[in-house]
Amino acid sequence: MHGIIAHTQRNAYRTAFKGSAALLASLWMVAALSGCGGGDGAASPAGGQTFEEEVASAERYGPLVDDWKAELESGDLSDFERGVLQRAVETGRISQDDYEQAQALYVRCMETSGYDHLVFDKLPNGLYSLSDESQTDDGYFDAVMTCSQGTTSVIEAEYRDQQDNPDRYKDRGIVAVQCLREAGVVDDSYTAAQFNSGLDRLSSSRSSGSGGNPSAAFGFPVDSDDEQTLFCISLGGLSLGGDFGSDSDE
């Protein structure tokens, strides 16, 4: 069932945004913030589960290969996309080379459309993100809609799922905390419940217009220049950009 639902959701995302990575990140942020549990701080509730217990009892989505099969059955694919997904079904994963080729085809189309000063940063998960150094104009988004079709619109979404959440956890807080632990940002006592509580707290603060302080909300240092920490937080559903406070909460 999840394969069908996820396939439908991704189709909706692609119809609206056609592979725009920044806007897809915003969708994840909205979904995560609307689905967070309650909590008024970063501390985990007394008697709560350890992270290992959270992982052991976590609900998971079905295999990604089921989503790839659903995509193949949709019929709305380019020959390139179909080839990538057929290989993925056979091997169990989308290769980095196939994703790189999708990105190269997309960039070539954008250059042909007049956008030959685009700069991309490679993220820790192997995906590319448009750099602030890129030169765009009012017609950029229309070009993205056109050039992502048949190149990155399907493949990037599927590859992102594979890279960001290979164990298919429904609780994206688990994915974020795994990343934070591996990066040494938090210790072994930090839990997904704490992360989700911080996400909820930060959302409430920003909704009320007070801005909110990521470091105070999450209970670990968050600096606008720390790309690894920001990347881990994004895996939990929140893309932080611009300058923000890193001291104690207001």
Closest CA to 173 of 157, 192, 156, 189: 192
- Residue 13 or residue 161, greater confidence: 161
The number of folded domains in the chain is 2
Show the beta-strand stretches assigned E in the chain: 120-122, 128-130
Q: Are residues 131 and 7 in the same domain?
A: yes
Task: Write the pLDDT tens digit of every residue in 98-148.
Answer: 999 999 999 999 999 999 999 999 999 999 999 888 989 999 999 999 999
234 within domain boundaries: yes
Q: Are residues 222 and 241 in the same domain?
A: yes
| pTM for the whole structure | 0.74
Range of the domain at 53: 36-62+168-250
Q: Give pLDDT, residue 243.
A: 53
Pairing of strands 128-130, 120-122: antiparallel
Mean pLDDT of all residues in 222-241: 90
